[in-house]
Structure 1
Amino acid sequence: MVGIIIASHGDFANGVLQSGEMIFGKQENVKAVTLMPSEGPDNVKAKMKEAVASFDNQDEVLFLVDLWGGTPFNQANSLFEEHKDKWAIVSGMNLPMLIEAFAARATMNKAQDIAAHILGAAKEGVKVRPEALQPAAPSKPAGKPLTAGAPGKFEYVLARIDSRLLHGQVATSWTKTTRPTRIIVVSDAVAKDELRKKLIQQAAPPGVKAHVVPIRKMIELAKDDQHFGGQRALLLFENPQDVLRAVEGGVPLKTINVGSMAHSPGKVQPNKVLAFSQNDIDAFKKMKELGLKFDVRKVPGDAKGDMDEILKRAQEELNKQK
């Protein structure tokens, strides 16, 4: 695996690494190197050497630094000279760049390939509101995407229960892993809320369309075999009851990713991210009877949880409340 060194003036490197792992999961062969006010170039260089020595593969190393020409860059560059056939340095580090680098390591084993790949994500991550301030994108030739209107049905790359719906972990780690062409929030409540709909559409990652539809509409779309050939759909649900209604209506899901269920009065919380009412438990049991499997993970890199055991603990805690 390509090793990554994140280097910065001050604690920025530690902070962006923490943020990246919150979104994408714990990472191996990644080190943060900081230049603190009381330190000099030699301190940074020593830290970088120590970080490289800790990597499983010291032949392939990618440096992500904050400023071109700054001390972290200069010290990385001094080490780079002896390895410039394989190592790479990218400056202007931001969170989209780091997350893209994490994702790219799953399929790329050369530091220079990853360096070239992450530049687009870094640039696309810089946006502004009001949108009128954003520079105009180069015009593209007119025409419809190849998959638009093609005969066939959706391919469902992920169906996820997440009370936060479209947020950082979904817009980055899950989309990088599953590569959807459309993100569809399936919710009667959100479909009636124009503000939430707009915010979800704005949160879609570059190149992916985001939609909000009521459950009835999703059932109709799932049965349409004339317009969605080649379309890879990532479905987001707020709760298990909505998933159950969709599946019973004919949306052909086989596995449900259970990511986050917020706590509210009357619910029990058998782990850090999942809270259940009796209605929630009953909905999961019904889905299991229908043959659905459960993939309990916040991000792709997490170990899968045992849904049967989680539901058992939740039921026991609810029974104690009676």
Structure 2
Amino acid sequence: MVGIILASHGEFAKGILQSSEMIFGEQENVKAVSLMPSEGPDDIKAKIKEAVASFDNQDEVLFLVDLWGGTPFNQANTLFEEHKDKWAIVAGMNLPMVIEAYGSRLSMESAQEIAASILTSAREGVKIKPEKLEPADTAKTGAVSNQQSNAGAPGSFEYVLTRIDSRLLHGQVATAWSKTVNPTRIIVVSDAVAKDDLRKNLIQQAAPPGVKAHVVPVDHMIKLGKDNEHFGGQRALLLFENPEDVLRVVEAGIALKTINIGSMAHSIGKVQLNKALAMDQKDVDTFNKLKQAGLDFDVRKVPNDSKEDMNQILKKAQDELNKRK
């Protein structure tokens, strides 16, 4: 795996590492190095060398630095000269850039390939409100991108991910999962959210560049899933708040195969099973019905997490609920 060094003046690199792992999950072979006010060029150069030495693969290293021409960049560049056939440096580090680099490592094994791939996300991550302040060519480019990503011949949806997540569309979905499954549309399926204009607006704004986000009631999703005339070429990422809504869709004839289970928040009557999942008896019964319907379960928050055993989770949930009776 390509090693990544985040380098900055002050604690910026450490902060962006913490923020990016909150969104994408804990990362291996990623180090943050900081140039502190009392330190000089030799100090950060030594930190960079130490970070590189800790990587499993020291031949492929990507530097994401805060400022082109600054001391962190300059010291990384002195080391880069000896490895410029494989290493890469990208300046102007921001959170979209870092997250995109994490996602790219899942399918790319070259630091220079990743460096080239993350520039678009880094640039598109810089936006402004009100939108009228944005340059006309930027807005035009975004519109063209959306049109291209949603083109397709007549046919039904391809469901690239169906996920249960009580938080719905948030950073892990908008970045980690979207990067992995490449949807053209994200569809939040929720009766409650469909009635909440504020939440709908926030979800639509949280969609990654080039992807349209929609919020629809469960019954409307059933209609969309049965429409074989308008959705060819559409790669749909479905987000549900709970398993009960998934079961409604499945029982209505929508052909889902695998359910990714990312987060189910704790509330009164539920048992906490791990950091991310809490269930009550209704949830357990619903998952068993989905299992009987032939669906598989993929229990993990982000793509690079290890999958958990859903059978063991359901057994633990039932045992804990039985103790309360």
- Identify whether the pair has TM-score above 0.5, normalized to the shorter chain: yes
User: What stretches of structure 1 of length at least 5 have no aligned partner?
Assistant: none
Shift of 1:268: 0.9
Query: Which of 313, 320, 323 is the equivalent residue of 1:320?
Result: 323
Partner of 1:280: 283
Within a 5 Å distance, the mapping from 1:1-20 to structure 2 comes to: 1-20=1-20
Shift of 1:144: 5.8
User: Greater CA deviation, 23-32 or 159-168?
Assistant: 23-32
2:201 aligned with 1:183: no
User: Greater CA deviation, 85-94 or 20-29?
Assistant: 20-29
Shift of 1:145: 4.1
Aligned length: 322
User: Greater CA deviation, 148-157 or 209-218?
Assistant: 148-157
The letter for the 1-side match of 2:301 is: K
For 2:149 and 2:61, how far apart are their aligned partners in 1? 38
Task: Provide runs of 4+ in structure 1 moved above 6 Å.
Answer: none
CA RMSD of superposed structures (Å): 1.8
2:167 aligned with 1:164: yes
Within a 5 Å distance, the mapping from 1:234-253 to structure 2 comes to: 234-253=237-256
3-state secondary structure, aligned to 1:212: strand
TM-score normalised to structure 2 length: 0.94
For 1:319 and 1:253, how far apart are their aligned partners in 2? 31
For 1:136 and 1:251, how far apart are their aligned partners in 2? 41
For 1:280 and 1:176, how far apart are their aligned partners in 2? 29
The letter for the 2-side match of 1:227 is: H
Change (3 A) 1:168 1:146: closer
Query: Which of 256, 259, 272 is the equivalent residue of 2:259?
Result: 256
2:119 aligned with 1:133: no
2:324 aligned with 1:310: no
TM-score normalised to structure 1 length: 0.95
Partner of 2:28: 28
Shift of 1:84: 2.1
3-state secondary structure, aligned to 2:14: helix
2:304 aligned with 1:301: yes
For 1:111 and 1:257, how far apart are their aligned partners in 2? 30
3-state secondary structure, aligned to 2:307: coil
2:153 aligned with 1:150: yes
3-state secondary structure, aligned to 1:120: helix
Percent of pairs identical after alignment? 75
Shift of 1:53: 1.8
User: Greater CA deviation, 147-156 or 199-208?
Assistant: 147-156
User: Greater CA deviation, 112-121 or 182-191?
Assistant: 112-121
For 1:189 and 1:12, how far apart are their aligned partners in 2? 39
Alpha-carbon displacement from aligned partner over 1:70-126 (angstroms, at most 9, x marks no partner): 211111111112222322111110111011111112222222221121111111111
